[in-house]
Amino acid sequence: MALIATEMSFPSLFKAQCPPARQPRPKVSKHKKKHDKSKKDEYQDNEEYPVAYNEAYEEDDYGEPPWMKYIQEEDRETMRVPIFDSIWMPSLPLIGKEVDTIYYCRKELARLNLEIEIDQQHPEKFPLMNSAFVQFNHQVAAHMACQSVAHHIPQQMAPRLVEISPDDVIWDNMSIRWWERYLRTFGVVIIVSAMVIGWAFPVAFTGLLSQLSYLEGNIVWLRWLSRLPQWLLSAIQGILPPLFLSILMALLPLMLRFLSKNQGVHTGMAIELTVQNYFFAFLFVQLFLVVSISSGFSTIFNSIKDVTSVPELLATNIPKSSNYFFSYMVLQAMSVSAGALVQIFNLVSWFILAPIFDSTARMKWARTTNLNQMQWGTFFPVYTTLASIGLIYCVISPLIMIFNVLTFTLFWVVYRYNTLYVTKFRFDTGGLLFPKAINQLFTGVYVMEICLIGMFFLVRDEKGEVACEGQAICMIVLLIATILFQFLLNRAFQPLFRYLPITLEDEASQRDEEFARAQRRRLGLEDGEDEEEDTSPDDKKHKRENDIELNRIDSKKPQRNALTRLIPGKSGTRPLSWADPSRKQRSRYFGGRPDPNMPTIQRMRQKLAEDTEAQAPTSSINQALFDGYPR
């Protein structure tokens, strides 16, 4: 399935075929519109929907209902309808008319079903969208169509998305035009930039908390901190700053995801990719730059009068901010890992919220069977930022590497278990999050090289001259080489991130054909029913070359000695792992010819025939989509 968001008029197939459960009534036109005579008697735009049920019908007209034999009338479920008949106004408790839930929903279902049926017969009532869905018979065709130059006007037939799940589409953003999407993106970037600047003040406060021992001797109104016990002051400097910072960062993903959705992207996975960019930029600025600068500013208070000593003081004391990241990494490793294993919210939801809110069997079944979904847009940047901080301080403060390794080891153990047994993955980006995270790691490399360049230039000898000029020049050359390497890396691999190479499609087609032949043989359809193979000279030559290659590979395989089977621990085969399939799990029908009269085989044959018929070329879809529209 390829989603091509184009600048062309196209009917909204989703709204025409599957309108929402509660659709607004169309406005009654005051003037008659011109209609075709064949449709005039059937339905007109200036008419209201007909009544779907008998308004004079009363539930008590046919005697006592059967449900009264089992429950009292006051035990029936009731609900309150809104005061005004408006789609946007919800039902509020103690406000509005109280009605029986079953009776009311029965009438609503009848009304909505009739309105949906009428709307499906008249898709021209709905506004046209500037997006189109194009379905291809082969995967490679969709990738080739997305890469082709389809229009001579810029920003037409664009942007194009491939490998899209219909459930992941954001339908509200499908009709946004390219200039509106640019304006929204510009506005969201401005808002995120303002958030980064505004968030700097509370984050800087957390950085100053880690330097209370320096501040108490330089600020008069903080001298009362010297009367506190040393263990309490150490606890405040080590625990409170990371704790406050974690609380601040917990509110950020919700806001960024809301802004990314309103930016105009078309899928939920595109939201995750956008959130990954914004969240990493936010975390890197707030978690590293602001904290490091605020921690370094506190170290110059002792010599604030001596301006010439500021560079030396910064070069000497900025590495002290690494102590903040030591405690922050340990806190993240312990708290996040423990929370991911214990699942506090799920425990509260299961033991407290479920008995209160789950009143139907469907709700209980959904809570029991549905697993949590991983939000990758806010998952990757947290650990990418921690890795970047480790890269920055690996030379300035090498001790941080120990904390970094321990932190990521614990994360690996925890999230490997959660990935296999706790969370589910309904949609994916096709691996686009990983290369983006790799590019974000280069930010840490650049900052590390810039910091080393500055520190080398700040080092002075006895004469007051630069003592490490050669090392600084080497770091400048290395910085340029790193930028060039990242550029060439992205230039080489960027085309492979989103689109499928043609060579892989050829191999996939061969595997599909081989699987289809094996499937037909298993169903007993190989006798004269397979297509005749092409026996051209080129194919015969290619087949002989493949046979020669296979014989060479088979000849290189080590022969299993019969004596090694009798010696314990000297088996000719490699030891089995947890990923090896068991031979006992193979079906007894595998490799054989089952009875064609078995019901299972007959059903599979019938389904195979239906799939083949559905994949055949037909013009019925084109007639359904473009009937009545100029081609």
Average pLDDT score over residue span 37-61: 62
Q: Which band of pLDDT confidence, cut at 50, 70 and 90, is reported for residue 85? A: low
* 54 in any annotated domain: yes
Residues 417 and 327 in one domain: yes
Q: Which band of pLDDT confidence, cut at 50, 70 and 90, is reported for residue 271? A: very high
Residue 629 is predicted with a pLDDT of 45
Residues 121 and 90 in one domain: yes
Q: pLDDT higher for 125 or 310?
A: 125
Over the stretch 512-527, which tens digit does the pLDDT of each residue have?
888 888 888 877 765 4
The Cα 385–Cα 364 span in angstroms is 39
Domain that holds residue 200: 187-432
Over the stretch 432-466, which tens digit does the pLDDT of each residue have?
999 999 999 999 999 888 888 888 887 777 777 77
Residues 8 and 84 in one domain: yes
Instruction: Give how many domains the chain has, as a whole number.
Output: 2
Residues 194 and 123 in one domain: no
Residues 17 and 122 in one domain: yes
Residue 49 has pLDDT above 90, yes or no: no
Written as six digits, the tokens of 442 are: 């280069």
The pTM is what? 0.64
Last residue of a domain, one of 432, 459, 484: 432
Residue 604 has pLDDT above 80, yes or no: no
Most confident of 166-180, 222-236, 563-577: 166-180
What H or E segment, with its residue span, contains residue 629? none
Residues 155 and 243 in one domain: no
Last residue of a domain, one of 413, 432, 451: 432
Contacts (Cβ under 8 Å, ≥6 apart) of 423: 371, 372, 373, 374
Of 90-99, 233-242, 468-477, 557-566, which range is least confident?
557-566
Over the stretch 193-205, which tens digit does the pLDDT of each residue have?
998 888 877 777 7
Most confident of 73-87, 362-376, 528-542: 362-376
Residue labelled with tokens 């400048």: 476
The Cα 406–Cα 383 span in angstroms is 13
Residue 442 is predicted with a pLDDT of 94
Residues 247 and 138 in one domain: no
For 423, the 3-state DSSP assignment is strand
What H or E segment, with its residue span, contains residue 132? strand 132-134
Residues 235 and 373 in one domain: yes
Residue 7 has pLDDT above 50, yes or no: no
Residues 290 and 349 in one domain: yes
Average pLDDT score over residue span 53-70: 76
Residues 160 and 221 in one domain: no
Question: CA Rg, the chain, in Å?
Answer: 34
- Measured in whole angstroms, the distance separating CA 270 from the mean position of its chain's CA atoms is 7
Task: Tell which residue, 270, 244, 250, 203, has the closest CA to residue 382.
Answer: 250
Residues 331 and 233 in one domain: yes
Residue 522 is predicted with a pLDDT of 77
CB 207 within 8 A of CB 183: no
Q: Residue 248 burial (CB < 10 Å; 0-12/13-18/19+)?
A: middle
Q: What is the DSSP string of 537-581?
A: HHHHHHHHHHHHHHHHHHHHSPPPPTTTTTSTT--SSPPP-TTSP
